[in-house]
Chains A and B, each alone.
Chain A
Amino acid sequence: MKPTNIKDPEYFHKVVDCQYACPAHTPVPEYIRLIAAERYTEAYMVNWESNVFPGVLGRTCDRPCEPACRRGRVEEKPVAICRLKRVAADNKGPVRQLMPQGPFPSNGKKIALIGGGPASLTVARDLAPLGYELHLYDDHKKGGGMMRSQIPAFRLPESVLDEEVDFILDLGIHRHFNTYVSSMKDILSQDYDAVFVGTGAPKGGDLRKIPGREEGDANIHIGIEWLANVAFEHTDKIGKKVVVLGGGNTAMDCCRTAKRLGGEEVTVVVRSPFKDMKASPWEIEDAQREGIPIRNCMPPKQFVVENGKLKGVLFEKVEAVYDENGKRSLVSTGEPDEFIEADEVLMAIGQENAFPWIERDLGIEFGKWDIPVVDRLTFQSTNPRVFFGGDAAFGPENVITAVAHGHQAAVSIDLFCQGQDLRERPAPTVNLFHQKMGIHEWMYDSQVVEDLRYAVPHAANEVALKDRKLEVELGFSQDTGFKEAQRCLNCDIQTIFTDRLCIECDACVDICPTSCITFTLNGEEEEVRARLNAPAEELSQDLYVSDTLPTSRVMIKDENVCLHCGLCAERCPTAAWDMKKYLYQVTKTCQVWDIMAPVQL
């Protein structure tokens, strides 16, 4: 194997699994340490710089970081990263004065942002300090997009959302709310230098082909539309018996909202088996905690309507059968169909992009499923002036992905407006910081605690179910937040090996708790992996290989389950091992907060 090039910014980035898995690459261990140090304001700003909506995401993020967390590989559960983010947001001090302060000198460029959701708002935040004139269009009365219309208030209080949306709007964004953009041609005919489309995936799935759909229409609703009506207070009640169709997060939001609007018997019915449900496990748990039954393997067959009134839904019984390729098909079990009574039905069976307002003769090419052709790196469409991001670009994802898209689209728009090549993007910012203070002393808390993941407290059902706006998750207290923060393994504190200093005494090999380090003869990766001190079967995790040492061996470290405890460096007599903090920040248009600068608060 070739010696590892640790100067490649992506090598150590990959070792910080949480950050690497995060679409926006938020420096997770950095802000977790700040939380442990009770520096909540700075922890918030580290987040805000990277993911723009820490308070929102600390409650509602899909958390791709948590399954990636290294802690989950050495014990049962990962660090509760998402909930720690909320600790920062809940306990922050005044932050507004730490954000860029307008008015910003104009650079003479004018941008239209269509849709007021997380993608557009991120573009707005990244471009505003550079002097762009930004015009944000949304058909609702407030910004926030699906964060406002689809996420119920008992999961995300309106005040939290308002605050974070306003941080951005107050940078001097021109607001065009209650304005439905009905023609892209019209927008393009105006004097905008570029247009960003962040209109999400606004079309909820329907079941037009199921008998009874037309007749029962008055009591059969599309989930996301119904949620939006609740959020904007057009709807404030529902029938006593409610059936929710679908097994994703929207279904969970629908059933829990229904329960709060007067639904007494709310049932979620899913066509697939429980284990295949798309909803996040914690959202399923939350629904179950509120006493909502989830029925599986029951696709709807008929909406039963009598005398023009919906009576319920008839379901078929199926089971999942897998062929030799693992492909699933749902096959009828032959059991009799089941009828579930319902006064109202909510359909939460997926959502799609829809661009009825974009004329097809503007040079914006559309591909499969009516999704625009968008460059994955630059977010530019086939019309060079038009950029897409968020769900509008590649189909439904989540808030954090929309934010990540926003950052990159902003970089592209900036390059485009300056007449530069969109593919020659600025490099990410990387830094290595010394951590050593003494033989056994590091600037980070290197000791690995054995605490198991802490549970977050919830409001009691009796109170929570009576008030649609009462937040259910109560968040960690500062004390619990500290304890949970201590579970973080500090994977951004990198083990750095300097081969010319190594005397091959084996001290690091002997001390390493997880047997990550081996000194052995070099070879091909596949064969080397088989003869390391501990199994190295996780191929997605790199091997850190040194140059050849005097005994003609090489040092090989399997990054997979390294605890970043620093013992190798403490036991190294020649400082051939060192622990250094690695800070990786993705390319953005401008730095709205300097993580590295010391702060006087």
Chain B
Amino acid sequence: MTYLRPKFRHPESPKNNLGYTRQYYEGALSTLCAGCGHDSISGAIIQACFEIDLEPHRLAKLSGIGCSSKTPTYFLGNSHGFNSVHGRMPSVATGANLANRDLIYLGVSGDGDSASIGMGQFVHAIRRNLNIVYIVMNNGCYGLTKGQDSATADVGSVNKSGAANQFSTIDLVGLALELGATFVGRSFSGDKAQLVPMIKAAMAHRGFAFIDVLSPCVTFNNNPGSTKSYDYVRAHLEATAAVDYVPFKSEITASYPEGTGKTIRLHDDSEIRLRKLASGWDPTDRGLAFARLQESRSNNEILTGLIYLDPNRKDLHEMLDTVGQPLNTLTEQDLCPGQSALEAINAENR
């Protein structure tokens, strides 16, 4: 019986610029069902963090409750983590972010955790442009309670018991766009070539980076008639563009013919490059994003890729004009600057 993963790895495993192999970014062995899409997303997160040379102690993973929210155990075993209350991860993340702005925050949630019980929390975190990567592992069902339809199940999608969903669906991408998320993308657990660079770009983005990842539930929602099965998703994928993330100071190695590529510079001077751009597509145009999203819905397509990006909007810290360093690094001198500072402030108000 194997519940343990062998410790041996490929003897020639590549190392990143920090000298770590991919193994350093792994977590415990997954206890999710065999073939769960969530495990692939965990794999993509591991790969992305390995590729951007992340120092694991610089990242905090936060989650709520659900199959998706279990996954932080299965990746980045050397990073910080907080498994919070069902649907309340955005509040915990907001608090953590305000206390220590130097960490990279990775929120992991599911369609139940974000689109049902945690909806109130989710939408306000977006409004505030909290600086976080927020991944929803979206399988359209409540896998942990045996596969009832979730709020993201499409109208007409048939679940494993044979019943078609009649309730209107919540499109998390449309919602995030509406509420002012500054980075909105959608991907598929079975397409790491798209997902890995998108996670890398989201981590470099300052502000609320939302990625809706379709992640088939092999046990309860991978049946014919389901619109979140491996086969259905693969057959209806439509990508806006291929995404490349280019860290700052990297050599420019490719150029694209006019009209087929676009480069967007992020606040830290890293770049997102889009290849094979659909004609007339511009991910910085919010109106266009709405229209394209609507169009794909009418065509029964699942629009994936980077859908909207605003690299310039202020994040929560900038809006609140908070102190520029983590609270735990403030000394008594910083917090109690003394009589003269008080007098200066009073003088300003006279």
Of A442, A447, A510, A516, the contact of B4 (CB 8 Å cutoff): A447
Beyond A504-B230, A514-B8, A537-B12, is A574–B2 a contact (Cβ under 8 Å)?
Answer: no
Name the residue on A nearest B43 (C-beta). A510
Asked whether A535 lies within 8 Å of B34 as measured between CB atoms, the reply is: no
Q: Chain A residues with Cβ under 8 A from B218's Cβ?
A: 503, 505, 573
Complex alpha-carbon distance, A175 and B158, angstroms: 81
Complex alpha-carbon distance, A505 and B39, angstroms: 9
Distance in angstroms from A453 CB to nearest chain B CB is 14
Distance in angstroms from A402 CB to nearest chain B CB is 35
Count of chain A to chain B residue pairs whose CB atoms are closer than 8 Å in the complex: 110
Name the residue on A nearest B42 (C-beta). A510
Main secondary structure of the interface of B (DSSP, over half): loop
Of A446, A505, A513, A550, the contact of B40 (CB 8 Å cutoff): A505
Distance in angstroms from B5 CB to nearest chain A CB is 6
Of A446, A507, A550, A570, the contact of B39 (CB 8 Å cutoff): A507
Q: Chain B residues with Cβ under 8 A from A442's Cβ?
A: 1
- The number of residues on chain A lying at the interface, defined by a beta carbon within 8 Å of a beta carbon of chain B, is 38
Beyond A550-B234, A574-B35, is A446–B10 a contact (Cβ under 8 Å)?
Answer: no
Distance in angstroms from B171 CB to nearest chain A CB is 24
Name the residue on B nearest A561 (C-beta). B10
Of B3, B9, B234, the contact of A440 (CB 8 Å cutoff): B3
Name the residue on A nearest B75 (C-beta). A510
Distance in angstroms from B226 CB to nearest chain A CB is 13
Distance in angstroms from B7 CB to nearest chain A CB is 6
A551 within 8 A of B: yes
Complex alpha-carbon distance, A571 and B40, angstroms: 12
Complex alpha-carbon distance, A442 and B3, angstroms: 12
A212 within 8 A of B: no
Distance in angstroms from B82 CB to nearest chain A CB is 24
A488 within 8 A of B: no
Q: Chain B residues with Cβ under 8 A from A510's Cβ?
A: 39-40, 42-43
B11 within 8 A of A: yes
Distance in angstroms from B224 CB to nearest chain A CB is 13
Asked whether B190 lies within 8 Å of A505 as measured between CB atoms, the reply is: yes
Asked whether A75 lies within 8 Å of B35 as measured between CB atoms, the reply is: no
Asked whether A505 lies within 8 Å of B6 as measured between CB atoms, the reply is: no
Asked whether A514 lies within 8 Å of B10 as measured between CB atoms, the reply is: yes
Distance in angstroms from A538 CB to nearest chain B CB is 9
Of B22, B40, B231, the contact of A506 (CB 8 Å cutoff): B40
Asked whether A572 lies within 8 Å of B3 as measured between CB atoms, the reply is: no
Interface residues of A in 399-450 (CB under 8 A from B): 439-442, 446-448, 450
Can you name 19 extra interface pairs (CB under 8 A) apart from A507-B34, A535-B10? Answer: A73-B11, A74-B9, A441-B1, A450-B7, A503-B231, A504-B190, A505-B40, A505-B189, A506-B192, A510-B42, A510-B43, A511-B30, A514-B10, A534-B14, A537-B12, A561-B10, A565-B2, A571-B34, A573-B33
Q: Which A residues are closer than 8 A to B by beta carbons? A: 73-75, 439-442, 446-448, 450, 503-507, 509-511, 513-516, 534-535, 537, 550-551, 561, 563, 565-567, 570-574
Q: Which B residues are closer than 8 A to A by beta carbons? A: 1-14, 22, 29-30, 33-37, 39-40, 42-43, 189-190, 192, 216, 218-219, 222, 230-231, 234
